[in-house]
Chain A
Amino acid sequence: MNIVVLVKQVPDTAAERTLSEADHTLDREGADLVLDEINERAAEEALVLKATLGAEISVVSMGPDSALDAIRKVLAMGADRGIHICDDRLQGSDAVTTARVLAAAVRTVADVDLVLAGNATTDGQAGVVPAVVADLLGVPQLTHIRELTVDAGRVRAERETENGEVTLDAPLPALVSVTEKINEPRYPSFKGIMAAKKKPVETVDLDDLFPDADDADFLVTRTRVVEAVPRPARAAGIRVTDDGSAGRQLVDYLIAQRLL
């Protein structure tokens, strides 16, 4: 089977993130960029399927030159080939454009059975891109999945959200986004890292993906940030050490704050 894994390079969540003053997009210059952790789990799930069912795994990432590092990492884990969507015109893309571009890249892979992604990136957090890619590809979405079974042309999955749990069933081809509960991703071996250097990575731009599109009409975003201001960090307020009466003192505080 053919599996496409969608991955994204993001600023390390452990580091501070800022918006550029010029256009209020994420300032990537100052950030440590890493393969988003959740994508490693999507890749791991693809590799498990490759081991059990046999599969060719393509890794797709959209981003500047540095995104190649994210692709290489997944190749080092054991994926077979990469597609790097690299085009300056995509800077500042909204979720709709991002999904359109990713869907177009998925379509360049022949006979895709399964698209795997993380449920939400740590920089955007909206968690909408996988669902939109499914819509554009016209395949079922099985998103926020903690358990996945692929068998006899069907996919069965356990979805877990704030509304509870559901079991989903759909025919292939399908799109699955995974949560951090799905598995523990493997570390690339030294052998894997060396092998990844020889694996093919195709670089494509918008003209490759949308040969018929009129460049002037290509919308990168349908929204605009009017203003971005850092929020004052929350400062510590009252601090007490429990002397046996902290619970009672707290009630007085809550009443004073009109919270009771």
Chain B
Amino acid sequence: MPDVLVLVDHDGEHVHKSTYELLAVARWLGDPAAVVVGSPGTAARLKDPLARHGATCVYSAESAEADEFLVTPAVDALELAVREASPAAVLVSATTDGKEVAGRLAARLDAGLLIDAVDLDSSGEVTQIVFGGSCTVRSQVTHGFPVIAVRPGSVEPEEHPVEAAERELALPPVDPAASARITARRLALAGDRPELTEASVVVSGGRGVAGADGFKVVEELADALGGAVGASRAAVDAGYYPHRFQVGQTGASVSPQLYIALGISGAIQHLAGMQTSKTIVAVNKDPEAPILALADYGVVGDLFAVAPQLAEEVTARRLGS
């Protein structure tokens, strides 16, 4: 079986769930090999959970400066790993960083690039959803090997314990004239909530939430459901909630089991980022709001009445069961 390289998303201590999803996909195509890029010691910390999810090999591409530069160390590491493993495919998560890594790698190796896959089959044929959810496309690579960015949340992660071999990759020194240095980070506060792109439930607030304080209602419902909090561009632009929670064309694309839109009218740019959710619930005062036209369950009403009642009821049923 040929290797299928998976770029590992991590925070230095933990592997992100999206990587386990990639490992599950990789097993359909070949033997999953995980590539860890980070400061020294990272791969050793992440090896066990990666092996538990099917990584037959863990490449460690480590250097003191790997975390200090944007995107290029990951591209360099994957390029080295490709030359070593001659893989059948390379998989990355379709995050902002992941897509940029995929593009740069494909250009360097003259490979075929498929972005934002929501499914793929054993022949490497990929399913994508384009134009804000209005069209399903199946694509394949016709030249070189496939570099595929898989949308987080599209497939279920699976445990598949194996023995993982360890390999080192000698990461070249970063050229500071060709890479941007990260001089400060204000990371998303992890908190107790799941990551937006990884959550199976997302509760989002829009302009109808009417202020930063109003988002407490959104957060409380998200917490009752064990979900992540999202926000529309209108809510983000109005300063109600930080940009990293934005769902839509210029924010994150999400595809959870359940998407609850509170006070979101449903601009086309927002729909583009959530339309592939399995079930959509919308609460809006305006019966003409476009989002109600595609919600599986639409409530015309005041979110400040409906959402707290729903949160309370969910908590009560959970405690009762």
Contacts and interface: CB of A to CB of B under 8 A. Distances in A.
A222 B300 CA distance: 48
B260 to A, nearest CB: 9
Nearest to A254: B258
A122 B125 contact: no
A137 to B, nearest CB: 9
Contact of B294 (A141, A179, A236): A236
A164 B314 CA distance: 30
Interface string B290-321: 00111111111110011111111110011000
Interface in A221-235: 221-231, 233-235
Given A13-B269, A251-B310, A236 B183 contact: no
Given A126-B115, A135-B108, A163-B96, A179 B250 contact: yes
A251 B314 CA distance: 7
A224 B300 contact: no
A164 B242 CA distance: 9
A96 B110 contact: yes
B261 interface: no
A244 B72 CA distance: 55
A127 interface: yes
Interface stretch (A42-50, A59-67, A80-88, A169-177): A169-177
B100 A231 contact: no
Interface of B: 70-72, 75, 95-97, 99-100, 102-104, 106-108, 110-116, 125, 129, 131-144, 149, 176-188, 196-197, 201, 225, 243-244, 249-252, 257-258, 268-269, 272, 275, 279-281, 283, 287, 292-302, 305-314, 317-318
Given A19-B137, A247-B311, 17 more contacts: A13-B268, A19-B135, A126-B103, A163-B95, A163-B96, A169-B180, A170-B181, A222-B111, A222-B144, A224-B140, A225-B138, A233-B294, A234-B133, A235-B294, A239-B300, A242-B301, A248-B310
The 4 tightest CB contacts between A and B, nearest first, are A242-B301, A247-B309, A128-B103, A131-B100
29 contacts: A13-B132, A19-B135, A96-B107, A126-B103, A126-B116, A128-B100, A131-B71, A135-B103, A138-B178, A161-B97, A162-B96, A164-B185, A168-B182, A223-B141, A223-B142, A224-B141, A225-B138, A226-B138, A227-B137, A234-B275, A237-B298, A238-B298, A241-B301, A242-B301, A242-B302, A246-B309, A248-B313, A254-B258, A260-B225
